[in-house]
Amino acid sequence: MSSINEQLLQAVLSPLQVEHHELTNDSHMHSGPAQDSHFSLLLVSEIFAGLMPVKRHQLVYELVGDLMGNPIHALALHCYTPQQWATKQGMPAAPNCLGGSKSDQ
């Protein structure tokens, strides 16, 4: 696991009392020199109960704020309660990058 991955997980696992997590590096799916900068993070925690998705994301972004922008450019969050997670079939697939780079022109 790279140091970025470790920093990201350390920032959220304990404070959110995470019961299950999955972290994927999606950088290879993006155009340009994206390397270890695009991630998807799935978190399962009872702390998310009663919170709308935007509030869940805000809570996570408060914890990882120092990592956003540099070194992390994009972070797709999937935040569930244990009850919601019981009905899921894993992490949603990351979309292909729709952005371009100057080398594509």
Q: Which domain holds residue 62?
A: 3-88
d(CA 26, CA 98): 13
| Chain centroid offset of residue 3 CA | 15
Q: With respect to residue 103, please indicate whether it lies within any of the assigned structural domains.
A: no
Q: What is the dihedral of CA 18, 66, 32, 54, to 10 degrees?
A: 50
CATH number where 20 lies: 3.30.300.90
The answer to whether residue 82 is domain-embedded is: yes
User: Looking at residue 15, what is its pLDDT?
Assistant: 95
Asked if 11 and 67 count as a contact pair (C-beta separation under 8 A), the reply is: yes
Q: What is the pLDDT of residue 41?
A: 94
Domain count, the chain: 1
> pLDDT of the chain along its 105 residues, tens only?
458 888 999 999 999 999 999 999 888 776 666 677 888 999 999 999 999 999 999 999 999 998 888 888 889 999 999 999 999 878 888 776 665 554 444
- Residue 96 domain-assigned (yes or no): no
CA distance 10 to 28: 23
Whole-model pTM over 0.85 = no
